Amino acid sequence: MSDFLKKTLILARKGEPLAYPNPLVGAILVKNGKIIGQGYHKKFGSPHAEVVAINNCVKKGNNPENSTLYVNLEPCSHHGKTPPCTNLIIEKGIKKVVFAVKDPNPKVKGLEVLKKIGIETTYGQLAKTATELNKVFFKYQKTGLPYLTLKIASSYNFKIWSPKITKITGLESQKFTHRLRAKSTSVLTGINTILKDDPLLTTRLVKGENPTPIILDGSLKIPPKSNVLKNKKTIICTEKKSSKKNVLTFTTLSNLKPILKKLATLGHTNILVEGGQKITSSFLQQKLADKIIIFISDKKLGQQGLRAILPKTLPNLKITDIKKIGEDIVMELRNL
């Protein structure tokens, strides 16, 4: 049983990043110990994994009746952009459904619907792995907040900017960052980074969709010709009143949680933060980062270099991964 569930997790990953903000889901139909159909949720708004697997089964000339459906997330039972998956499961006579973890969305009652109709339904195996796969979706459904990855690129003396050095990390680390962007709905930075570096915040070094840039700019100082404004979806968060499109006004930008909640309601559920010292320190102080990724280069920045974070802002962390990328070291950390 767990082998088929493991395969659904592998299939589910193929939907990254186009499935967002929907969860990553893979599904497999098994009959007499053999896979007779499979599929995954390819893109937001497209058919769900269960439907794709059933259609794949029929297309191959197989009959899904009396088969077992394996899926990494509880099948949906409500109308959204697509009809309920439970309807098709019942219609096709599938006798058993095995899923890894329950859907945290309160609208989803797949387990209840299937059991009520008499379909054998079990769940719980690989629940931790399945939850981790869809950590972005689970966090938003449970807290209303986006999943937040804080990225820091520093010299080996833990400085992030110098007037003399424009690129701290090497090309491979830059590509890694662009892959992080491709997996994110949005990339957030502050006005100081815009004024100093004028970044593009795109995925130009890899294949993938550009994330939506989000700029924290309390006084609306962003220059009209800034590179990020080439992206028409760019959002500016400010304390100034404005009638301009894509400008969100808040009482203060110092309290980040209400800003994040608002952004999440607009679909920005997986945010990569690429800020300077002030932005990075604020997210750390307010304990809002789910994951911290630190790139450490072999360069040393001198006296004029800007420290990565303000003193005493780094929380208690545990290192979950460490590896070498090109000439740089990359560490992944999470809060204890």
Q: Alpha-carbon distance 198 to 226, whole Å?
A: 6
Pairing of strands 291-296, 147-154: parallel
CA-based torsion, 144, 21, 315, 198: positive or negative: negative
50, 112, 120, 132: the catalytic one is: 50
Q: What is the separation of C-alpha 41 from the centre of its chain, rounded to a whole number of angstroms?
A: 15
Would you state the structure tokens that stand for residue 125, as one six-digit string?
Answer: 């195996």
CB atoms within 10 A of CB 132: 12
φ and ψ at residue 207, rounded to 5 degrees? -85, 135
Say whether 91 is catalytic. no
Tokens 């394996």 belong to which residue?
A: 70
Q: Alpha-carbon distance 55 to 64, whole Å?
A: 9
Q: Alpha-carbon distance 120 to 94, whole Å?
A: 9
Q: Alpha-carbon distance 83 to 177, whole Å?
A: 37
Report the catalytic residues: 50
